[in-house]
């Protein structure tokens, strides 16, 4: 459903060029000091002005005390292409919301799952309400097309790997967080908690429970980071972009209440993860400006 509201004020025309590639000196100078666990939480279909306001007290509190990207935009629709971009920098030809068994399969290794494994970074993705691991069909409040890792052949064609990496949030997250063994933890809320089917207040309350839990962990306290993202906005017009609520948290944030108007998109997020873990850029993120300015430089 097309929603039209105050979010229209946040629309900007999509430019024809991407941010300039940083020089080697710039990259070295802004290498992010993130030595703990990187957490990523992705919500659904809201523009920034609907989220970062006092009506959602926890989101608003986080936006005042942590880092905010005021010009982080999405440009595609529906949800799934955005999720594919968030783990590979490209939609890889997927332009629909079909579950994995009724969609294209992406071949090759240009995705965060394969990059992290190649770099020896232990990681897992946690899907709210999924139940069984590596579940390829949507049911209940679990949406398989909000689980982007399922669309890559290197994952789904290796069932043992898939069942180990893509697991149920309720069954595994608290134990894994306490263990401190994972350096990258992706979290997809279910269709209620991500604000798709339920109120914005429901998502705000869910986020407070989860982020409070993360903040209390050594995995976060010892140089970790939390990226709170949205897949797309609620006003989706061809040729225009929606500004998304984007909050970055870290004990090594460059300063409390940091805000930047640097233009970012989902490719920027992927580039940042690549830089944090010192992984080579995939073709889709070469020349893309990362979000490293949020963090103190690594010495």
Closest among 252, 245, 188, 256 to 220, alpha carbons compared: 252
Classify strands 240-243 and 12-13 as parallel, antiparallel or unpaired: antiparallel
Do residues 142 and 125 make contact, with C-beta atoms less than 8 angstroms apart? no
- Structural domains in the chain, CATH included, are 21-38+48-241+255-265+283-294 (3.40.720)
pLDDT by 10s per residue, the chain, length 299: 333 333 333 333 333 334 444 443 344 445 899 999 999 999 999 999 999 999 999 999 999 999 999 999 998 889 999 999 999 999 999 999 999 999 999 999 999 999 999 999 999 999 999 999 999 999 999 999 999 999 999 999 999 999 999 999 999 999 999 999 999 999 999 999 999 999 999 999 999 999 999 999 999 999 999 999 999 998 665 555 799 999 999 999 999 999 999 999 999 999 999 999 999 999 999 999 999 999 999 87
Residue 18: what pLDDT?
Answer: 41
Distance CA 185, CA 126 (A): 7
Residue found by looking up tokens 């970074």 in the block: 121
Per the document, the length of the chain is 299
Residue 46: what pLDDT?
Answer: 95
For residue 123, give the 3-state DSSP assignment.
strand
Q: What is the number of other CB atoms lying within 10 angstroms of the CB of residue 199?
A: 11
CA distances from 8 to 49, 119, 229, 256, 264 (A): 10, 41, 19, 29, 19
Q: What is the number of other CB atoms lying within 10 angstroms of the CB of residue 118?
A: 11
Residue 13: what pLDDT?
Answer: 30
Helix (H) or strand (E) holding 134: none
Write down the pTM of the prediction.
0.90
Distance CA 233, CA 229 (A): 11
Residue 75: what pLDDT?
Answer: 80
Residue 3: what pLDDT?
Answer: 34
Q: Output the six-digit token pair for 94.
A: 């997927």
**Which 3-state string (H, E, C) describes the chain?**
CCCCCHHHHHCEECCCCCCCCCCHHHHHHCCECCCCCEEEEEECCCCHHHHCCCCCHHHHHHHHHCEEECCEEECCCCHHHHHHHHHHCCCCCCCCCCCHHHCCCECCCCCHHHHHHHCCCCEEEEECCCCCCCCCCCECCECHHHCHHHHEHHHHCCHHHHHHHEEEHHHHHHHHHHHCCCCEEEEECCCCCCCCCCCHHHHHHHHHHHHHHHHCCHHHHCCCEEEEEECCCCCCCCCEEEECCCEEECCCECCCCCEECCCECHHHHHHHHHHHCCCCCCHHHCCCCCCHHHECECC
HSE, CB side, 13 Å, CA atoms: give it for residue 31: 10
């Amino acid at each position: 459903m097309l929603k039209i509201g105050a979010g229209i004020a946040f629309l900007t025309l999509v430019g024809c060029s991407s941010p300039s590639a940083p020089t080697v000196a710039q990259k070295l100078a802004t290498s992010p000091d993130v030595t703990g666990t990187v957490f990523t939480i992705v919500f659904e279909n809201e523009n920034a002005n609907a989220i970062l306001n006092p009506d959602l007290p926890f989101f608003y509190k986080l936006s005042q005390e942590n880092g905010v990207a005021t010009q982080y935009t999405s440009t595609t629709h529906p949800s799934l292409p955005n999720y594919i971009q968030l783990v590979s920098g490209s939609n890889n030809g997927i332009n629909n919301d079909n579950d994995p068994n009724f969609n294209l399969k992406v071949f090759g290794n240009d995705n965060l799952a394969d990059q992290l494994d190649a770099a020896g970074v232990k990681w897992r993705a946690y899907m709210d309400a999924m139940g069984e691991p590596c579940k390829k069909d949507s049911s209940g409040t679990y949406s398989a097309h909000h689980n982007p890792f399922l669309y890559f052949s290197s994952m789904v064609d290796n069932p043992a790997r898939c069942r180990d990496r893509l697991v149920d949030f309720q069954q595994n997250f608290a134990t894994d967080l306490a263990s401190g063994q994972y350096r990258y933890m992706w979290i997809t809320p279910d269709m209620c908690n991500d604000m798709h089917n339920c109120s914005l207040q429901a998502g705000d309350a869910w986020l407070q429970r989860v982020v409070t839990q993360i903040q209390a962990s050594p995995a976060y306290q010892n140089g970790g980071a939390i990226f709170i993202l949205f897949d797309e906005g609620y006003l989706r017009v061809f040729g225009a972009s929606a500004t998304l609520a984007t909050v970055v948290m870290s004990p090594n944030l460059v300063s409390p209440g940091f805000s930047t108007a640097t233009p970012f998109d989902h490719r920027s997020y992927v580039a940042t993860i690549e830089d944090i873990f010192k992984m080579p850029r995939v073709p889709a993120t070469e020349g893309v400006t990362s979000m490293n300015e949020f963090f103190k430089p690594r010495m």
